[in-house]
Amino acid sequence: MSKGVTPQSKNFSAWYNDVVKKADLAEHGPVKGTMVIKPYGFALWDNIKYALDSMIKESGHVNAYFPLFIPKSFLAQEAKHVEGFAKECAVVTHTRLKAVNGDMVVDPESKLEEEVIVRPTSETVIWAMYKKWIQSYRDLPLLINQWANVVRWEMRTRLFLRTTEFLWQEGHTAHATAKEAEEETVTILEIYRRLAEEFLAIPVLTGQKTEIEKFAGAEHTYSIEAMMKDKRALQSGTSHNLGQNFAKAFNVTFQNKDNKEEMVYATSWGVSTRIIGAVIMAHGDDKGLRLPPKVAPHQVVVIPISRNDEQKKVIKKYLNPILDKLKNNSVRVNVDWREESPGFKFNDWEMKGVPIRMEIGPRDIENNQVVLARRDTGEKSTVQANDIADTIAKMLIDIHDNLFAEATDFMKNNTNEIDSYDEFKKIINDGGFIRCGWDGTSETELKIKEETGATTRVIPFDENPKGLKCIYTGKPAKHEVIFAKAY
């Protein structure tokens, strides 16, 4: 294997692929577009999952699990929803194989009466079940989340960002009123924002999607959008207000306090393994990953430097109380005892983005100290043994803050408020976000997309369209909107 990765400046997408593989996060599976998430990548996902799952539970939701297979007819119940997903559904048509002349072939006799699809998302199965579970206003709200895999047979795939099968959580809630459903949608978006900013150190824009960009089957969609280091946008979490669309499709009604029958209001929302792509591309550099400390599989990696077995024993003894202290502080620490040179290990763990490296050699033991190196800045410092636990606790917070600040500056510096379409085209071509007026029509949006490749990302919550003109038509702006090229 060659050393290092393609520099970001040379070819960002090659850099991305190199980092995913060399940091040992994932590799391609044997079927087109599939991905094997390797232990290091999965440990990262586990930590993200734990953080998000905790917030979902704290906000009153419970986890459940619904089936992978969905009757084909279910998808057809909600017209817009079918339109959105029909083109990319894996369909199960038979239930067994048989051996013919040493080859395995599909047994034609096992053809299914009703074909089954592999879920591209679970609204339809879940609403078929909710119909059974909801009769009264007393059954509401129903606040369920599931962690699952889904399959979307996309034309073009990329590790983590768009894979044929991916992991995610999908929340599906049912409410008695439109107001409650709307509050839920916003509550969840706030959880997603906190996940991105407080755990992953990725600043995000929050806001509403346009008609064109919203989820198939939703009344409206909110999303968090992050800027990657190539200045493109990555939609990193979405929260949909489904109105009564699915209740109508599956005829889910309840009796209210006044003994009247009403349709249920719904939401759905999801964050997927795609967010790992955001972590990679929001923070990574030419040495590899730079992981945010709160979700890094190892927050500290210890590199013992010894010349012989005798020294190894001394280091081990010196290290034990330090490790105990760190573990008592819930610091995730990993000691790399592999038979490799220190230089090799330095590079390896830098590629893997471990926030802090601790070097311990004879020199340190002599002076009752350790050497700490920060992955975010590259700074090295010497710390007295007694201060290690405190210093590391502070340093981890500081690394998080620094990553967040860097990413925030980057996004700010590459977000342009402009009012000329010529400028728009130029900026989109160079990369970056544009905040500008928009007349609110799909026609304008589509024309801009066609001419520049940019799409609307969100109508930000803090928009102020008063006095603005549409960047394209010059008409009075209905909304202020963010345009960017997106993943």
Partner RNA sequence: CGGGGUGUAGCGCAGCCCGGUUAGCGCACCUGCUUUGGGAGCAGGGGGUCGGAGGUUCGAAUCCUCUCACCCCGACCA
**What residues make contact with RNA under the rule CB under 7 A?**
1-4, 13, 17, 28, 30-33, 84, 87-88, 152, 154-159, 161-164, 166, 213, 215-216, 235, 238, 272-274, 287, 305-308, 339-344, 346-348, 350-351, 359-364, 371, 373, 378, 380, 453, 486-487
Of 202, 182, 183, nearest in space to 193 by CA: 202
68: left (phi over 0), alpha (psi -120 to 50) or beta: alpha
CB of 54: closest distance to RNA in angstroms? 23
Using CA atoms of 10, 16, 19, 22 in order, give the dihedral in degrees to the nearest 10: -100
Instruction: Output 177 or 441, the one with its CB closest to RNA.
Output: 441
Residue 80 CB partners (closer than 8 Å, separation 6+): 216, 217, 245
Is residue 435 within 8 A of residue 480, CB to CB? The reply is yes
Shortest spacing between CB 239 and RNA, in angstroms? 11
Residue 187 to residues 53, 193, 210, 482: CA-CA distances in angstroms? 14, 10, 20, 22
Minimal distance, residue 430 CB to RNA, in Å:
15
Please give the helix or strand (H or E) that residue 408 lies within, else none.
helix 388-413
Chain-centroid distance of CA 474 in Å reads 36
Decide whether 161 or 389 has the Cβ nearer to RNA. 161
Give the residue from 235, 283, 223 showing the smallest Cα distance to 404: 283
- 166/246 with CB nearer RNA: 166
Which CB, 147 or 346, lies closer to RNA? 346
The tokens of 170 are what? 């999908």
Helix (H, G, I), strand (E, B) or coil at 345: helix
Please give the backbone phi and psi of residue 236, each rounded to the nearest 5 degrees, phi first: -115, -5
Between 212 and 397, name the residue whose CB sits nearer to RNA.
212
* Closest separation in Å from C-beta 24 to RNA: 11
- C-alpha 152/C-alpha 163 separation (Å) is 8
Whole-angstrom distance, CA of residue 378 vs CA of residue 346: 11
Instruction: Name the residue nearer to RNA (CB basis): 109 or 450.
Output: 450
Please, which residues bridge with residue 383 across strands? 370
**Other CB atoms closer than 10 Å to residue 420's CB: what's the count?**
10
**Total length of the chain:** 487
For the bound state, the minimum distance from the C-beta of residue 365 to RNA, rounded and expressed in Å, comes to 7
Residue closer to RNA by CB (options 69, 344) is 344
Nearer Cβ to RNA (205/477)? 205
Q: How far is the CB of 38 from RNA (least distance, A)?
A: 13
Phi, psi of 60 (to 5 degrees): 95, 10
From the CB of 467, what's the least distance to RNA, in Å? Answer: 32
Q: Is the previous residue joined to 355 through a cis bond, with omega within 30 degrees of 0? A: no
Q: How far is the CB of 435 from RNA (least distance, A)?
A: 20
Closest distance to RNA from the beta carbon of 372 (Å): 9
99 vs 155 by CB, closer to RNA: 155
